[in-house]
């Protein structure tokens, strides 16, 4: 092999491998420090594209879980109001029973009637409760709509339960028809509830919207529009309580469905995170082995470059 001064092939080769091994070492260090197998698009362009789409879906599912939690909170607040409404009806029924005591004089009955009227106003005000500005109960009701029937206006709020948004699955939760449940038509053999619409589209109590004595409403916008307790029979109270119970049962069914929807979204998110991890996450054991390998190769390459550079000393010896 000829001995050259201008061109040191051994040094050039050693320098090339030193540069190559050092680049591999730096890549291995970057992967281990970041925990990601793909640190730049050139590492795996197709895998990076899939990972970005999976990450987008995962983020949307996180939003879906929060939306479902908010919907459950909406229904829990709604149920709390319905529970209070049931307690008020119980108290109103108690007032009705107390007023029928033969030992009570007209003044006593008037006192019971005063509380009875005030409770009707309270029920109406409760029907206007909102959750972050969203009404919990339907107030724009159709005229003569039968409670629970097909003619009743079904005011709902849609909750999207998949990462595809409005094009995917959804759960519709009802704004309970509390006012309709509190309005009873005693002419009906089954004492079905009815709802009324005023000129403003709001339920104002039976005194404001009906002239027939067969219609009884437990909610009124003011005490002067409320009806007295002597006008109602015990059967009316029973039917109103049954209606409230039906609304609470509907509320509970919606909560149950939302809980299953949240569980499904959470499971999808978990599986997608695992799939994304298989694409993006670095294998620590394998990469640690590569790190040790390239670390040794870099040191060996540097040593060989030093040895190759030393061959010029032989040429100097010959020249001397």
pLDDT class for 47, splitting at 50, 70, 90? very high
Strands (DSSP E) contained in the chain are: 130-131, 134-135, 145-146, 156-160, 170-174, 183-185, 194-195, 215-217
Residue 303 clears pLDDT 80, i.e. is over it? yes
Tokens 């909406």 locate to: 74
What is the pLDDT at residue 198?
32
Mean pLDDT (the chain) is 83
Residue 285 clears pLDDT 70, i.e. is over it? yes
What is the pLDDT at residue 154?
53
Neighbour count for residue 308 (Cβ, 10 Å): 17
Residue 194 clears pLDDT 50, i.e. is over it? no
What is the pLDDT at residue 309?
80
What is the pLDDT at residue 67?
94
Q: Which two tokens stand for residue 229?
A: 């307790």
What is the pLDDT at residue 187?
67
Residue 113 clears pLDDT 80, i.e. is over it? yes
* Closest listed residue to residue 178, CA positions, set 235, 228, 135, 223: 135
pLDDT tens profile 177-190: 888 888 887 665 45
The 8-class DSSP code of residue 137 comes to B
Q: Which residues lie below 8 Å from residue 56, measured CB to CB, with a gap of 6+?
A: none
* Closest listed residue to residue 270, CA positions, set 69, 59, 60, 58: 58
């Amino acid at each position: 092999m000829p001995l050259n001064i201008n061109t040191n092939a051994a040094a050039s080769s050693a320098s090339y491998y030193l540069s190559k091994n050092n680049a591999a070492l730096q890549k291995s260090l970057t992967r281990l420090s970041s925990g990601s197998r793909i640190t730049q698009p050139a590492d795996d362009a197709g895998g990076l594209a899939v990972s970005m789409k999976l990450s987008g879906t995962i983020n949307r599912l996180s939003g879906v879980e929060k939306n479902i939690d908010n919907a459950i909170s909406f229904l829990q607040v709604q149920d709390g109001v319905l529970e209070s409404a049931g307690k008020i009806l119980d108290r109103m029924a108690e007032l009705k029973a107390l007023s029928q005591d033969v030992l009570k004089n007209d003044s006593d009955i008037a006192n019971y009637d005063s509380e009875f009227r005030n409770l009707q106003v309270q029920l109406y005000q409760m029907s206007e409760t909102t959750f972050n500005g969203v009404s919990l109960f339907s107030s724009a009701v159709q005229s003569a709509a039968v409670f629970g029937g097909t003619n009743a206006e079904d005011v709902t709020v849609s909750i999207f339960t998949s990462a595809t948004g409005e094009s995917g699955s959804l759960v519709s939760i009802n704004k309970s028809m509390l006012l309709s449940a509190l309005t009873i038509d005693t002419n009906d053999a089954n004492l079905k509830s009815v709802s009324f619409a005023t000129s403003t589209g709001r339920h104002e109590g039976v005194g404001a919207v009906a002239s027939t004595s067969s219609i009884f409403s437990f909610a009124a916008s003011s005490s002067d529009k409320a009806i007295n307790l002597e006008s109602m029979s015990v059967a009316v109270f029973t039917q109103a309580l049954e209606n409230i119970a039906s609304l609470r049962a509907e509320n509970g069914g919606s909560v149950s469905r939302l809980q299953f929807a949240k569980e499904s979204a959470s499971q999808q998110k978990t599986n997608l995170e695992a799939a994304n991890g298989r694409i993006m996450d670095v294998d620590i054991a394998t990469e640690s082995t590569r790190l040790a390998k390239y670390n040794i190769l870099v040191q060996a390459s540097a040593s060989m470059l030093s040895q190759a550079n030393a061959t010029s000393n032989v040429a100097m010896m010959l020249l001397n």
